Chain A
Amino acid sequence: MPKRKLDPLPSAAFQILLALADEDLHGYGIMRQVAEQTENRMRLGPGTLYSSIQTLLEAKLIEELDQREDAKLGQERRRYYRLTSGGRKLARSEAERLADLLRVARAKKILRGDYV
Protein backbone atom coordinates (compact mmCIF):
# COMPACT_ATOMS: atom_id res chain seq x y z
CA MET A 1 0.00 0.00 0.00
CA PRO A 2 1.18 3.52 -0.68
CA LYS A 3 3.02 5.29 2.07
CA ARG A 4 3.37 9.01 2.46
CA LYS A 5 5.49 10.67 5.01
CA LEU A 6 3.65 12.61 7.67
CA ASP A 7 6.77 14.28 8.96
CA PRO A 8 6.42 17.20 8.49
CA LEU A 9 2.67 16.97 8.63
CA PRO A 10 1.19 18.22 5.34
CA SER A 11 -1.15 21.17 5.65
CA ALA A 12 -4.13 19.24 4.22
CA ALA A 13 -3.64 16.40 6.70
CA PHE A 14 -3.41 18.83 9.64
CA GLN A 15 -6.58 20.59 8.52
CA ILE A 16 -8.39 17.23 8.31
CA LEU A 17 -7.27 16.33 11.83
CA LEU A 18 -8.56 19.70 13.07
CA ALA A 19 -11.84 19.23 11.21
CA LEU A 20 -12.40 15.93 12.97
CA ALA A 21 -11.50 17.28 16.42
CA ASP A 22 -15.10 18.16 17.32
CA GLU A 23 -17.18 15.50 15.57
CA ASP A 24 -17.15 12.53 13.23
CA LEU A 25 -17.57 13.60 9.62
CA HIS A 26 -17.86 12.08 6.16
CA GLY A 27 -15.70 13.21 3.22
CA TYR A 28 -17.90 16.07 2.11
CA GLY A 29 -18.38 17.17 5.72
CA ILE A 30 -14.60 17.29 6.17
CA MET A 31 -14.23 19.33 2.99
CA ARG A 32 -16.82 21.86 4.19
CA GLN A 33 -15.35 22.05 7.68
CA VAL A 34 -11.86 22.67 6.28
CA ALA A 35 -13.24 25.40 4.00
CA GLU A 36 -14.99 26.98 6.99
CA GLN A 37 -12.01 26.87 9.36
CA THR A 38 -9.70 28.33 6.72
CA GLU A 39 -12.23 30.98 5.64
CA ASN A 40 -12.48 29.35 2.19
CA ARG A 41 -8.76 29.61 1.56
CA MET A 42 -8.45 25.84 1.36
CA ARG A 43 -11.00 23.78 -0.55
CA LEU A 44 -9.88 20.19 -0.67
CA GLY A 45 -10.60 18.45 -3.96
CA PRO A 46 -11.60 14.77 -3.95
CA GLY A 47 -8.11 13.57 -4.94
CA THR A 48 -6.28 15.51 -2.25
CA LEU A 49 -8.93 14.79 0.37
CA TYR A 50 -9.03 11.03 -0.09
CA SER A 51 -5.25 10.72 -0.57
CA SER A 52 -4.81 12.45 2.77
CA ILE A 53 -7.54 10.34 4.38
CA GLN A 54 -5.84 7.20 3.07
CA THR A 55 -2.50 8.28 4.57
CA LEU A 56 -4.07 9.21 7.90
CA LEU A 57 -5.93 5.89 8.06
CA GLU A 58 -2.72 3.95 7.35
CA ALA A 59 -0.95 5.87 10.11
CA LYS A 60 -3.92 5.15 12.42
CA LEU A 61 -4.42 8.85 13.07
CA ILE A 62 -8.07 8.58 12.05
CA GLU A 63 -10.39 5.60 11.87
CA GLU A 64 -13.23 4.67 9.60
CA LEU A 65 -16.70 4.17 11.04
CA ASP A 66 -19.71 2.29 9.71
CA GLN A 67 -21.55 3.82 6.79
CA ARG A 68 -24.63 5.84 7.61
CA GLU A 69 -26.88 8.45 6.06
CA ASP A 70 -26.60 12.18 6.47
CA ALA A 71 -30.13 13.50 6.89
CA LYS A 72 -29.20 16.89 5.42
CA LEU A 73 -27.68 15.45 2.25
CA GLY A 74 -30.17 12.79 1.23
CA GLN A 75 -30.36 9.04 1.61
CA GLU A 76 -26.95 8.07 0.30
CA ARG A 77 -24.90 6.12 2.82
CA ARG A 78 -21.57 7.70 3.63
CA ARG A 79 -18.37 6.58 5.27
CA TYR A 80 -17.64 8.55 8.41
CA TYR A 81 -14.22 9.19 9.91
CA ARG A 82 -13.17 9.75 13.53
CA LEU A 83 -10.01 11.19 15.07
CA THR A 84 -8.04 8.63 17.11
CA SER A 85 -6.12 9.45 20.28
CA GLY A 86 -2.90 9.27 18.25
CA GLY A 87 -4.34 11.71 15.75
CA ARG A 88 -5.36 14.10 18.49
CA LYS A 89 -1.88 13.90 20.02
CA LEU A 90 -0.25 14.62 16.66
CA ALA A 91 -2.61 17.54 15.99
CA ARG A 92 -1.75 18.97 19.41
CA SER A 93 1.99 18.68 18.87
CA GLU A 94 1.68 20.27 15.42
CA ALA A 95 -0.37 23.12 16.90
CA GLU A 96 2.28 23.59 19.61
CA ARG A 97 4.99 23.67 16.96
CA LEU A 98 3.08 26.36 15.09
CA ALA A 99 2.47 28.27 18.33
CA ASP A 100 6.23 28.26 18.98
CA LEU A 101 6.81 29.65 15.51
CA LEU A 102 4.20 32.29 16.20
CA ARG A 103 5.93 33.26 19.44
CA VAL A 104 9.21 33.70 17.59
CA ALA A 105 7.50 35.75 14.88
CA ARG A 106 5.91 37.99 17.52
CA ALA A 107 9.20 38.39 19.35
CA LYS A 108 10.83 39.46 16.11
CA LYS A 109 7.97 41.92 15.53
CA ILE A 110 7.14 40.33 12.22
CA LEU A 111 3.45 40.11 13.03
CA ARG A 112 1.26 43.17 13.04
CA GLY A 113 -2.38 43.52 14.04
CA ASP A 114 -4.52 41.38 16.28
CA TYR A 115 -2.88 37.99 16.12
CA VAL A 116 -3.00 35.43 18.89
Chain B
Amino acid sequence: MSEKIYACLLRLFPSHFREAYGDEALQLFRDRTREEKGFFHQVGLWLDLLADLAISVPRQYRCVRPALTGTVVQQRLGSAPAFFVLADESPGPEALIFGCVLSMIALSTFSILLSHGGNHRPLSASGYQRGRATDSRPSTMARATGHVPGDA
Protein backbone atom coordinates (compact mmCIF):
# COMPACT_ATOMS: atom_id res chain seq x y z
CA MET B 1 0.00 0.00 0.00
CA SER B 2 2.69 2.49 1.04
CA GLU B 3 4.65 1.61 -2.10
CA LYS B 4 1.63 2.48 -4.23
CA ILE B 5 1.29 5.81 -2.44
CA TYR B 6 4.95 6.58 -3.06
CA ALA B 7 4.60 5.51 -6.71
CA CYS B 8 1.76 8.04 -7.05
CA LEU B 9 3.87 10.73 -5.40
CA LEU B 10 6.68 10.01 -7.85
CA ARG B 11 4.35 11.17 -10.61
CA LEU B 12 4.95 14.71 -9.34
CA PHE B 13 8.43 14.58 -10.88
CA PRO B 14 8.93 15.60 -14.52
CA SER B 15 8.59 12.74 -16.99
CA HIS B 16 12.27 12.72 -18.01
CA PHE B 17 13.27 12.18 -14.38
CA ARG B 18 10.67 9.45 -13.85
CA GLU B 19 11.78 7.63 -16.96
CA ALA B 20 15.43 7.75 -15.94
CA TYR B 21 15.20 7.17 -12.20
CA GLY B 22 11.59 6.28 -11.30
CA ASP B 23 12.28 2.57 -10.90
CA GLU B 24 15.42 3.19 -8.89
CA ALA B 25 13.65 5.66 -6.60
CA LEU B 26 10.96 3.06 -5.99
CA GLN B 27 13.60 0.43 -5.34
CA LEU B 28 15.29 2.73 -2.83
CA PHE B 29 11.93 3.23 -1.14
CA ARG B 30 11.46 -0.56 -0.93
CA ASP B 31 14.96 -0.96 0.55
CA ARG B 32 14.28 1.66 3.17
CA THR B 33 10.88 0.25 4.17
CA ARG B 34 12.48 -3.19 4.46
CA GLU B 35 15.17 -1.88 6.80
CA GLU B 36 13.32 0.78 8.75
CA LYS B 37 10.60 -1.16 10.50
CA GLY B 38 8.45 -0.06 13.43
CA PHE B 39 6.02 2.79 13.81
CA PHE B 40 8.49 5.57 14.61
CA HIS B 41 10.91 4.52 11.88
CA GLN B 42 8.06 4.51 9.38
CA VAL B 43 6.92 7.97 10.46
CA GLY B 44 10.51 9.20 10.16
CA LEU B 45 10.81 7.61 6.73
CA TRP B 46 7.65 9.32 5.46
CA LEU B 47 8.72 12.67 6.89
CA ASP B 48 12.07 12.25 5.10
CA LEU B 49 10.36 11.37 1.85
CA LEU B 50 7.88 14.25 2.00
CA ALA B 51 10.64 16.74 2.79
CA ASP B 52 12.67 15.30 -0.07
CA LEU B 53 9.73 15.66 -2.46
CA ALA B 54 9.09 19.24 -1.34
CA ILE B 55 12.70 20.16 -2.13
CA SER B 56 13.53 18.09 -5.19
CA VAL B 57 10.30 18.34 -7.25
CA PRO B 58 10.42 22.16 -7.71
CA ARG B 59 14.17 21.92 -8.32
CA GLN B 60 13.64 19.41 -11.12
CA TYR B 61 11.08 21.66 -12.81
CA ARG B 62 13.31 24.70 -12.39
CA CYS B 63 16.14 22.80 -14.06
CA VAL B 64 14.04 21.76 -17.05
CA ARG B 65 12.70 25.15 -18.11
CA PRO B 66 15.89 27.04 -19.06
CA ALA B 67 17.09 24.10 -21.13
CA LEU B 68 13.84 23.99 -23.12
CA THR B 69 13.79 27.76 -23.63
CA GLY B 70 17.37 27.71 -24.83
CA THR B 71 16.61 25.05 -27.41
CA VAL B 72 13.61 26.95 -28.75
CA VAL B 73 15.57 30.19 -29.10
CA GLN B 74 18.42 28.48 -30.91
CA GLN B 75 16.12 26.77 -33.39
CA ARG B 76 14.14 29.96 -34.08
CA LEU B 77 17.25 31.87 -34.92
CA GLY B 78 18.21 29.41 -37.62
CA SER B 79 14.96 28.94 -39.50
CA ALA B 80 11.40 30.04 -40.13
CA PRO B 81 8.84 30.14 -37.31
CA ALA B 82 8.13 26.70 -35.95
CA PHE B 83 5.90 25.05 -33.40
CA PHE B 84 7.25 22.98 -30.56
CA VAL B 85 5.42 20.22 -28.79
CA LEU B 86 6.48 19.79 -25.19
CA ALA B 87 4.20 16.83 -24.62
CA ASP B 88 6.87 14.80 -22.91
CA GLU B 89 6.87 17.29 -20.04
CA SER B 90 3.96 16.89 -17.66
CA PRO B 91 2.64 20.22 -16.38
CA GLY B 92 3.76 21.23 -12.94
CA PRO B 93 1.37 21.53 -9.98
CA GLU B 94 1.38 25.33 -10.20
CA ALA B 95 0.39 25.13 -13.87
CA LEU B 96 -2.47 22.78 -13.02
CA ILE B 97 -3.74 25.08 -10.25
CA PHE B 98 -3.45 28.09 -12.56
CA GLY B 99 -5.37 26.18 -15.24
CA CYS B 100 -8.15 25.27 -12.77
CA VAL B 101 -8.51 28.87 -11.57
CA LEU B 102 -8.52 30.20 -15.14
CA SER B 103 -11.16 27.66 -16.21
CA MET B 104 -13.37 28.55 -13.24
CA ILE B 105 -13.09 32.26 -13.98
CA ALA B 106 -13.94 31.68 -17.66
CA LEU B 107 -16.87 29.42 -16.80
CA SER B 108 -18.35 31.77 -14.20
CA THR B 109 -17.93 34.79 -16.51
CA PHE B 110 -19.72 32.90 -19.27
CA SER B 111 -22.61 31.88 -17.00
CA ILE B 112 -22.99 35.45 -15.62
CA LEU B 113 -23.10 36.83 -19.16
CA LEU B 114 -25.72 34.26 -20.12
CA SER B 115 -27.94 35.01 -17.15
CA HIS B 116 -27.72 38.80 -17.58
CA GLY B 117 -27.94 38.78 -21.38
CA GLY B 118 -31.62 37.61 -21.53
CA ASN B 119 -33.03 41.12 -22.18
CA HIS B 120 -30.49 41.94 -24.82
CA ARG B 121 -31.98 42.55 -28.30
CA PRO B 122 -29.94 41.58 -31.34
CA LEU B 123 -28.81 44.48 -33.54
CA SER B 124 -29.42 42.81 -36.92
CA ALA B 125 -32.06 44.23 -39.33
CA SER B 126 -34.31 41.17 -39.16
CA GLY B 127 -34.12 41.24 -35.39
CA TYR B 128 -35.00 44.92 -35.44
CA GLN B 129 -38.05 44.29 -37.65
CA ARG B 130 -39.15 41.38 -35.48
CA GLY B 131 -38.84 43.64 -32.50
CA ARG B 132 -41.03 46.28 -34.17
CA ALA B 133 -43.63 43.70 -35.20
CA THR B 134 -43.99 42.40 -31.69
CA ASP B 135 -43.97 45.85 -30.16
CA SER B 136 -47.62 46.53 -29.26
CA ARG B 137 -47.10 50.17 -28.31
CA PRO B 138 -48.18 52.68 -31.02
CA SER B 139 -45.44 54.75 -32.55
CA THR B 140 -45.32 58.54 -32.33
CA MET B 141 -46.36 58.90 -36.00
CA ALA B 142 -49.34 56.58 -35.55
CA ARG B 143 -50.47 58.51 -32.55
CA ALA B 144 -50.18 61.79 -34.51
CA THR B 145 -52.21 60.53 -37.47
CA GLY B 146 -54.73 58.80 -35.29
CA HIS B 147 -54.11 55.43 -36.97
CA VAL B 148 -53.07 52.94 -34.43
CA PRO B 149 -52.26 49.43 -35.74
CA GLY B 150 -54.51 46.81 -34.30
CA ASP B 151 -57.34 49.25 -33.62
CA ALA B 152 -60.66 47.99 -34.83
Q: Which residues of A contact B (CB under 8 A)?
A: 1-4, 27-28, 31, 43-51, 53-54, 73, 76, 78-79
Cβ-defined contact, B52 with A47, below 8 A? yes
Kindly provide the distance from the CB of B12 to the nearest chain A CB, expressed in whole angstroms: 9
Cβ-defined contact, B55 with A46, below 8 A? no
Q: What residues of chain A lie closer than 8 Å to B66, measured between beta carbons?
A: 3
Kindly provide the distance from the CB of B87 to the nearest chain A CB, expressed in whole angstroms: 17
Residue pairs across A and B with Cβ atoms less than 8 A apart, 23 shown, are A2-B63, A3-B66, A3-B67, A4-B59, A4-B63, A27-B28, A28-B27, A43-B48, A45-B48, A45-B49, A45-B51, A45-B53, A46-B28, A46-B29, A46-B49, A47-B13, A47-B52, A47-B53, A50-B20, A50-B25, A51-B63, A54-B21, A78-B27
Kindly provide the distance from the CB of A8 to the nearest chain B CB, expressed in whole angstroms: 16
Complex: how many Å from CA A1 to CA B48?
A: 27
Interface residue SS majority, chain A = helix
Cβ-defined contact, A46 with B25, below 8 A? yes
Task: Answer whether residue B88 sits at the interface, using C-beta atoms and an 8 A cutoff.
Answer: no
Q: What residues of chain B lie closer than 8 Å to A28, measured between beta carbons?
A: 27-28, 31-32
Given contacts A46-B49, A54-B17, A73-B31, are A79 and B56 in contact (CB under 8 A)? no
Q: Which residues of B contact A (CB under 8 A)?
A: 13, 16-17, 20-21, 24-25, 27-29, 31-32, 48-49, 51-53, 55-57, 59-60, 63-64, 66-67
Given contacts A1-B67, A2-B67, A73-B31, are A47 and B24 in contact (CB under 8 A)? no
Q: What residues of chain A lie closer than 8 Å to B64, measured between beta carbons?
A: 2
* B13, B31, B55, B57 — most chain A CB neighbours (10 Å): B31
Kindly provide the distance from the CB of A67 to the nearest chain B CB, expressed in whole angstroms: 10
Residue of A nearest to B13 (CB): A47
